Amino acid sequence: ADTTCTFDGEEYTKDTTNPFETDIGTVLAGVFDIVIPTGNAQLVGSEQIAGVEADRYTFSIEGLGSGSGAQVDANTGEIWVAKDGGYVLRYTVVAKMVDTATGEQYSLTVTLAMTSVNQPVSIVMPDGCVNAPMSTT
């Protein structure tokens, strides 16, 4: 509960939080909510996800790049919502932008998948993280 593990593609690092950071993280997790963006979401069909009937929507993130002036190269999202219960079963977002002033590229890929509902979960640190060095930040 008080240790996080990060993998940057090459090595693992772990960091320990103090109780205040843990409490804030819990609060923020409760505030975070995934919703179907209003205005541009389109129902594209129905299918089964993990044995649950779901409606599938596509969307884009409105206003992406407008604040920074970045060139948007990708802006797609999909969300599958359970027909019975209205909860999110799967959620994907792909966003890629280029800073037109510096040429730096930024990308974000988010994939969330519901695998079970109201079941106990056991979280185990990856083997590479068990002996990883502690972060100095």
**Residue bearing the bigger pLDDT, 130 or 87:** 87
Instruction: Kindly state the helix (H) or strand (E) to which residue 26 belongs, with its residue range.
Output: helix 19-31
Secondary structure element (H or E) that encloses residue 91, with its range: strand 88-98
The pLDDT tens digits of the residues spanning 8-46 come to 888 888 877 655 555 445 444 443 455 555 568 899 999
Q: pTM of the entire structure? A: 0.59
pLDDT of residue 132: 77
The rounded distance, in Å, linking the Cα atoms of 35 and 93 is 12
**pLDDT in the model for residue 106:** 84
Which amino acid appears at position 107 of this protein? S
Q: Over the stretch 91-112, which tens digit does the pLDDT of each residue have? A: 888 888 888 888 888 888 888 8
List 46's β-bridge partners, or say none: 55
So what's the pLDDT on residue 1? 56
Q: What angle do CA 49, 28, 109 make, to 5 degrees?
A: 45
pLDDT at 13: 85
3-state SS, residue 106: strand
